[in-house]
Structure 1
Amino acid sequence: MTAGRERPSDTRFGGLSTPCSELVTGRRASCVWGLGYIGWSTVEALRAEDIRVLGYDVSTERVAALRHSEGPGLKVTDGREQALTDDIAVHFVCVPTERQAEPYSDALLDVFTSICRATAARPRSGTPPLVIIESTLTPGTVEQLLLPVAVDAGLVLGRDLLLALAPRRDWFLAEGYGLRDLDRVYGGVNDASATAAYEVLSLMCNTLHRARGHLEAELVKCVENSYRHLEITLANQLTLGYPHVDMVEVLRLAGTKWNIGTYHPSFGTGGYCIPLSSRYLLRGAAHPEELSLLSQAVETDTRMRSLVAESVADGPVVILGLAYKGGIKVATLSPTIRIAEELTRLGVPFSVHDPMYTDEEIEALLGAGTAAPDLATAIRGAATVLIVPDHPEFRGEPFLGLLTEERKSPLLILDNHGVLADHPSWPERVTYRRAGNPLWLDTPTANAPAEKDLV
């Protein structure tokens, strides 16, 4: 248990212990469904509070990789029956709600249906189990999909089962932006569910904000990420509208105003949250035609990958990075995937290297022959190098040495996040451009100067 924190009191629910008190006294355990970054961080937060945890994932490979973490109070499994016993007081659902760049609810529905049926099959006694959904939901999911499942199973919410939403908004790589540190929004389908969720979440989070109900709680995560999606898309539209202007510099200066964030043009967004946020809102809206800004954001975001691929169509191309973000091994909706698809369509030879992925993993995601087993040979023979995520390794060797070698043929470096923007000088035949620099999507001439000499 975290030092200095008091546990919630052993209050009573209908004369019985609450799900929280069942956890903190060790009488019953918690179950985390889905052991990706979100799910595993929930596991670790529960373990820090001495809560017994069962981690479940459908991937036998992922479970096998996590077996070394087992010990007192933690077990991981791919056996669903173990996650559905009456020993579980709280279920945390952290399964993916995206597939092929679109909202996807089948995995969530499958897990929730299993929990409801197992709960209905047991005699009604003791504390009702609490389900906390940490995944991002398409607005309308609870009303249209989950509540009917509970009713069909013969369950009365608030009496037989408690259901709450608490989507995650923490960031794994930055100090001070973790599960405990950031404000968190939660909401229940009724007062009993919200109260029970507050007690449990208070074990892991310092600041909680209760939504009026599940409809509001369902929308918050999508709305806050759509704000960022629109702002990032505007940055990309500005660089397309003013191609001869250093839009990185313009946006940096605009960001000095106290109420404006700093954004920069890019190859497009990636990951589980921002690229899907507008799609979730469009999918769940009663009047999607009124959300024209979101529709345009989706279109521009998707188009950026094609523009990048078309700008380097002379090939060959080396793509540095498969992950969507530096320092994290997640390729979900990575710009690299769509750029690779476009290069394949255009018939441009390319290869991919990422220090966090094996060649076999890269080829499993992008196809045979896409990995760059000999990085030095690939870069020396390339016409273009695309740096996609801001992996810290790209600032060191062997990458920097290979990119700054004297060359007989020209090389264009397009840097999505400006990983090497501060490098002082480039060889004569190497053109460096950060996304958003002047003419960054134009093909350079054979002896083009470095981008810093153009402005």
Structure 2
Amino acid sequence: MSDICVIGMGYVGLPAAIMFGKAGHTVHGVDINTALVNSINKGEIGAEEPGLRDALAEALANDRLSVSETPSAADVFVIAVPTPINDDHSPDLSYVVNACRSITESLAAGNLVVIESTIPPGVTVNTVAPVLEESGLKAGGDFSLAYCPERVLPGNVMAEIVGNDRIIGGIDSESTNRAAELYRSFVTGTLHESDATTAEMVKLAENTYRDVNIALANTIANISESVGVSAWDVVEMANKHPRVDLLKPGPGVGGHCIPVDPWFLVAADETSSGLIQSARSVNDGQPSLIARMALTVADGVASPRIAILGAAYKPGVSDARDSPTAHLVRVLSEADAQVTVHDPQVKSFTPSLTENVVDAVTDADVIVVMVAHPEYDVLDPARLASHMRARSVIDTSNILDRDVWTGAGFDFHRYAEPN
């Protein structure tokens, strides 16, 4: 078993550190966020990830995990830090570069370094390796270097980090073999061995595939609405074809992966990535489309009061990073609308979340259901109507019963179908 130092204690790094510890390795986690470090060492986490809190408590109790702000000597270093994009959509590699630079003083001959952060193709070889070589050691000669991207779904991380297949791509065959041996200690899925740049491309292709297909669904939805038919019916019936599997349309794409990763492919080859850029434009434009819909429904009301239900980037999670609701709030606020937001799972958001749905809709003119949380399937429209200034609702995800809401006196609108 190895001593492992994991840099980055976020949504990816902490579960990885815990699973390495559970497999018998001794793990030291590192993060520059002092408050996060202190919380983890107390067994406290903000993310509502099933099984994560108990697994952390077990790792701490068994002395398999310690966390601080400073890297320490280890046999293996795992880099799991964010890779956001800049305002111009170019990749921001500063977190990865700084994390790699932070371990150069601890790096020793015979070590293995694994990058889990999502990065553009070629970065492991052309950026990460040179930074690590500032230690005076040679990548592929003195130490091994591999890329192994995470493949987990928020809300099911603890199961998927073990059971999902993984891509292992080293800068040479020894690096690939050593990284595969490391992940084999807890991963039950198949380990697919390749080279670093191919592994980088695989990760980006996976998320870009999803983004492009969501954009196709949204485009079909917008065209369906413009010609006067229900996109929900179109998708349902088109999927009766044995070789068609359209996704459902929605109010946008959020989270830390899908809205970001396609831009890494654009950065690698802007000329060949027109389809990818178009898909990003479609999906990024959805919140503005919903905003226009809400303002139209509230037509004639000065400074309309709009209650948004759902702040998470998708149903069933507490993660609101880059959520469509965040974009919607900005657009509505710029249009002088007064906005309230409720979410049963998200803990922190701007503007501050209301404690319950009734507080959110009190004196509102329009309700916009942005996230298909199960809690919103069972709302009592008659109860909500009694607290509102006007009675209009917009269902962006096809989860509300039109007859029930119209029966309660609501002016009912659903995205992607005639209203």
Matching of residue 115 in structure 1 with residue 95 in structure 2: no
Matching of residue 77 in structure 1 with residue 93 in structure 2: no
Map of 2:132 onto structure 1 = 150
CA distance in 1, matches of 2:356, 2:220: 38
CA distance in 2, matches of 1:431, 1:236: 24
Map of 1:37 onto structure 2 = 11
Displacement of 1:112 in angstroms is 0.9
Q: What CA deviation, in whole Å up to 9, does each residue of 1:340-390 have, x standing for no partner?
A: 1111211111011222344xx32xxx25xx543574244131122222233
1:140 pairs with 115, 122, 127, which one?
122
8 A Cα contact 1:55 1:74, kept in partner: no
What is the SS of the residue equivalent to 2:194? coil
User: Percent of aligned pairs with the same residue?
Assistant: 24
Tell me: CA distance 1:336–1:328, structure 2 relative to 1, closer, same or farther (3 Å).
same
CA distance in 2, matches of 1:56, 1:206: 26
What is the SS of the residue equivalent to 1:212? strand
What is the TM-score with the length of structure 2 in the denominator?
Answer: 0.85
Q: Which amino acid aligns with 2:62?
A: P
CA distance in 1, matches of 2:92, 2:411: 41
Tell me: CA distance 1:401–1:33, structure 2 relative to 1, closer, same or farther (3 Å).
farther
Displacement of 1:177 in angstroms is 5.9
What is the SS of the residue equivalent to 1:37? coil
CA distance in 2, matches of 1:371, 1:178: 30
What is the SS of the residue equivalent to 2:271? helix
What is the SS of the residue equivalent to 1:275? coil
Tell me: CA distance 1:159–1:173, structure 2 relative to 1, closer, same or farther (3 Å).
same
2:377 pairs with 380, 395, 401, which one?
395
Map of 1:96 onto structure 2 = 82
Count of residue correspondences: 392
8 A Cα contact 1:409 1:429, kept in partner: no
Larger mean Cα displacement after TM superposition, 272-281 or 383-392: 383-392
Matching of residue 296 in structure 1 with residue 278 in structure 2: yes
Matching of residue 51 in structure 1 with residue 25 in structure 2: yes
CA distance in 1, matches of 2:244, 2:159: 20
CA distance in 2, matches of 1:60, 1:176: 24
Displacement of 1:207 in angstroms is 3.0
Map of 2:50 onto structure 1 = none
- Runs of 5+ in structure 2 lacking a partner? 44-56, 299-303
Displacement of 1:249 in angstroms is 1.9
CA distance in 2, matches of 1:209, 1:256: 34
Larger mean Cα displacement after TM superposition, 371-380 or 49-58: 371-380
1:16-415 equivalences under 5 Å are 22-23=1-2, 29-66=3-40, 67-68=42-43, 69=57, 70-80=60-70, 83-85=71-73, 88-99=74-85, 102=89, 103-119=91-107, 124=109, 128-174=110-156, 178-243=160-225, 244-285=228-269, 288-313=270-295, 314=298, 315-358=304-347, 361-362=348-349, 366-367=350-351, 370-372=352-354, 375-396=357-378, 399-400=379-380, 405=385, 410-415=390-395
8 A Cα contact 2:395 2:414, kept in partner: yes
CA distance in 1, matches of 2:132, 2:387: 66
2:397 pairs with 407, 417, 421, which one?
417
How much is the aligned-residue C-alpha RMSD, in angstroms?
2.6
Tell me: CA distance 1:419–1:100, structure 2 relative to 1, closer, same or farther (3 Å).
farther
Displacement of 1:158 in angstroms is 2.6
Displacement of 1:176 in angstroms is 9.8
Q: What CA deviation, in whole Å up to 9, does each residue of 1:426-445 have, x standing for no partner?
A: 43431344432334xxxxxx
CA distance in 2, matches of 1:292, 1:190: 33
What is the SS of the residue equivalent to 1:168? coil
8 A Cα contact 1:404 1:426, kept in partner: no
Displacement of 1:99 in angstroms is 4.6
Matching of residue 430 in structure 1 with residue 419 in structure 2: no
Larger gyration radius, structure 1 or structure 2: 1
8 A Cα contact 1:97 1:136, kept in partner: yes
Map of 1:448 onto structure 2 = none
Tell me: CA distance 1:250–1:111, structure 2 relative to 1, closer, same or farther (3 Å).
same
Q: Which amino acid aligns with 2:33?
A: S
8 A Cα contact 2:176 2:194, kept in partner: no
CA distance in 2, matches of 1:117, 1:221: 30
CA distance in 1, matches of 2:293, 2:101: 48
What is the SS of the residue equivalent to 1:305? helix
What is the SS of the residue equivalent to 2:61? coil
CA distance in 2, matches of 1:408, 1:118: 61
CA distance in 2, matches of 1:159, 1:324: 43
Tell me: CA distance 1:183–1:254, structure 2 relative to 1, closer, same or farther (3 Å).
farther
8 A Cα contact 1:384 1:412, kept in partner: yes
8 A Cα contact 2:211 2:258, kept in partner: yes
8 A Cα contact 2:81 2:117, kept in partner: yes
Tell me: CA distance 1:425–1:168, structure 2 relative to 1, closer, same or farther (3 Å).
same
8 A Cα contact 1:407 1:429, kept in partner: no
Displacement of 1:235 in angstroms is 1.1
Displacement of 1:412 in angstroms is 2.8
Larger mean Cα displacement after TM superposition, 411-420 or 181-190: 411-420
CA distance in 2, matches of 1:175, 1:278: 22
CA distance in 2, matches of 1:301, 1:412: 25
Larger mean Cα displacement after TM superposition, 139-148 or 399-408: 399-408
Displacement of 1:64 in angstroms is 2.5
Tell me: CA distance 1:329–1:304, structure 2 relative to 1, closer, same or farther (3 Å).
same
